Amino acid sequence: MTRTARLAIWIVPIAALAVVTVAFADGSFDRHDNNGDRGQSTIERGYALAPVPLNLRHKNRALVGLGSYIVNAQGACNDCHTCPPFTPDHDPYTGGDGVPNAANYLAGGTPFGPFVSRNITPDDSGKPAGLTRNEFIQLMRTGHDPDNPGELLQVMPWPIYGKMVTRDLEAVYEYLSSIPHAEPSPECAPPPPPPPPQ
């Protein structure tokens, strides 16, 4: 092999790497920046997406912002845990802007056959769905239903969310603990069970 050929073997990959580095550095490969979010972090975007006021007292603000981003931009939690997920004027499927229904945000009540989505807003003690952080992470990892021991959650996509890194699950929990408590909409809440026979 000639000296020129050996030199070309080293120069071509280095030149290609330099071209790719410059292209990424100037943003020409950033095809998903059509919303003007250049430079906005996931934490900042999370705060911008939160549809309800947040209680940040004694909270890790970075985790709250990241949790909001995961819940509102990636996890689609609103689609199942808010009923209805959008008010008529905000419904993106009818031309609205997609802002979630703040009045019933994450309060559950969406029916899925025999199952109904749970209220995952904080209870009186401030725990989302009444779960501690460790219980929440365990539920997300295993799908074990805390209300029905020995049963697995059937509609909740825990097999997917359980693959998240622990810090992301902690962020979701921190965000859920910062939102206000809400109740399901009467139009969505299941009817109370019939009284027992006498």
Domain residue spans of the chain: 42-178
Write out the two tokens for 139. Answer: 């539920």
Q: 144: which strand partners?
A: 152
Judge whether 80 and 153 are in contact, CB under 8 Å.
no
Q: Contact at 8 Å (CB) between 105 and 78?
A: yes
Distance CA 183, CA 130 (A): 14
**pLDDT digits 0-9 by tens, 4-47:** 545 445 454 444 444 433 333 444 333 344 556 666 799 999 99
Per-residue pLDDT tens digits for 89-116:
999 999 999 999 999 999 999 999 888 9
Are 138 and 158 spatial neighbours (Cβ–Cβ below 8 Å)?
Answer: no
- Give the mean pLDDT of the chain: 84
